[in-house]
Amino acid sequence: MGFDVAAVRSRFPALARLVDGVPAVYVDGPGGTQVVETVIEAMSAFMRRGGSNLGGPFVTSTETEAAVEEARTAAADLFGAASSSEIAFGQNMTSITLSVSRALAATWRPGDEIVVTRLDHDANVSPWLIAAEHAGATVRFVDFDASDGSLTPAMFDSVLDDRTRLVAVTHASNAIGTIVDVAGVVERAHEVGALVYVDAVHHAPHGLIDVAASDCDFLVASAYKFFGPHTGILYGKLALLASVPAVRIRPAPSDPPGKWETGTQSFESLAGVTAAIDYLASHGPPGRRRPALVGAMAAIRGHETALGDRFVDGVAGLRRVRLYGAPTMEGRAPTFAIGVEGRSAQDVARALGRQGIFVWHGHYYALEVMRHLGVLDSGGLVRVGLAHYNTPSEVDRVVAALGAL
């Protein structure tokens, strides 16, 4: 049975929006996806029902504690984690990474080395640069191949040695779509005794995350990139979450996962996190959530690959449009950075926006990507990001609009 995109779209109220009487085309997903109706309902229901903070001897507090645990369990299923105790929440991925980097830096010494890549969003670069500077550690960069956007495990070999303490790497590039062999990077890093911190924010809506298979030490994602609310999610191996001293106030929990959560969480958002993950699972076979998610992400990947192939084939026929990154859907998410000869990225985005086609322009916080591609100083690129709620006709409309430019 094929992927029923019409049924999918009926569950997203925002997709009914019109711009000057024309249906909007949301191909801005890499900056944040639209929210599925069940998430909206779950968050509203929590607030209508009434909630309280944690630790109270009354029913609303008990219900809030249950909602938090439900969200931890759902996130553990999404990531393939062994336990809900390996899941902590925060304001967003950036805030979480700044906090974890500060905590890990307290264990580093001058002469230690930290490895980051030029493929990453800056939220998985700058926190480590700051932490390394405070600890007196050295930062080493790994370049990606600018010709096809690839970043292979072998590219890390020249920078890994017994001084390496941590490798920070993306699961999928938010700028050019490259999917990284995380398990291969982890294997090399662990051989020299280094930890691995994975940014899975952009991969989460497009492919399966499996922390057990990759053996990564930490992984972060953001629910607003997979059809949910603005909440960051941290996975960490339980032994690490327990042993690394977290930066926290004195009355805060001393054990994981609570020790990694600063202040009161957005409980209504956590209800939304559970609903978002259950929505993803609904595209898989009925039954337990983790197997359902495995099947769901395969189905989503199939639909998005077909859309991506259609886009790649379409822009290949546009002489003045250049596609950056992998030339096919092999090894990439359906996220495309393009340049239009003779037009700035901002001009292109504005022209498309006037037609109700929503795309991003600039660097998308992927500073090192744009610098490595040589386009940072000229205004960056245009990003077209497809999601599972997009349709073939929308892809055709984007390609036609680019052709008209």
Q: Which residues, in sequence order, are CB contacts of 227 under 8 Å at separation 6+?
A: 12, 33, 34, 35, 36, 39, 205, 276, 279, 280
DSSP code for 258: G
φ, ψ of residue 236 to 5 degrees: the values are: -145, 145
Question: From the CB of residue 51, how many other CB atoms can be counted at a distance below 10 Å?
Answer: 16
Residue 384's DSSP bridge partners are 336
CA distance 107 to 109: 7
pLDDT score for 248: 87
CA-wise closest residue to 194 among 211, 172, 218, 213? 218
Q: Both ends of the chain: CA-CA distance in Å?
A: 38
- Nearest Cα to 25, choosing from 33, 35, 15? 15
**Cα(299)–Cα(293) distance, integer angstroms:** 10
Q: Give the DSSP letter of residue 170.
A: E
Q: Indicate whether 277 pLDDT > 80.
A: yes
Give the CATH number of domain 42-281: 3.40.640.10
Query: What are 187-217's pLDDT values in tens digits?
Result: 999 999 999 999 999 999 999 999 999 999 9
Q: What CATH homologous superfamily does 5-36+293-404 map to?
A: Aspartate Aminotransferase, domain 1 (3.90.1150.10)
Sheet strands (E) in 127-240:
138-142, 164-170, 195-199, 218-222, 232-236
Q: Which two structure tokens, joined as six digits, stand for 383?
A: 């990003």
Residue 15 CB neighbour total at 10 angstroms = 17
Rg of the chain, C-alpha, whole Å: 21
pLDDT confidence band for 252 (50 / 70 / 90): confident
Q: Tell me phi and psi for residue 231, to 5 degrees.
A: -145, 135
Residue 257: is the preceding peptide bond cis (ω within 30°)?
yes
pTM listed for this prediction: 0.97
Cα 2 to chain centroid, rounded: 26
Residues near 315 by Cβ (< 8 Å), separated by ≥ 6? 321, 323, 336, 338, 399, 402
Give Cβ neighbours of residue 403 (< 8 Å, ≥ 6 apart): 317, 318
* Structural domain spans, the chain: 5-36+293-404, 42-281
pLDDT in tens, 89-126: 999 999 999 999 999 999 999 999 999 999 999 999 99
Residue 327 — very low, low, confident or very high, per pLDDT cuts 50/70/90? very high
Report the pLDDT averaged over residues 130-140: 98
CB distance 107 to 134 below 8 Å: no
Distance (Å, whole) CA 200 – CA 368? 18
**Which of the four pLDDT bands, split at 50, 70 and 90, describes residue 87?**
very high
Name the DSSP letter for residue 180. P
Between CA 205 and CA 227 the distance in angstroms is 8
Give the residue from 199, 223, 210 showing the smallest Cα distance to 276. Answer: 223
pLDDT at 14 over 70: yes
Model pLDDT for residues 221-239, shown as the tens digit of each residue: 999 999 999 999 999 999 9
pLDDT, tens digit, for every residue of 64-85? Answer: 999 999 999 999 999 999 999 9
Q: Mapping DSSP to helix (H, G, I), strand (E, B) and coil, where does residue 262 land?
A: coil
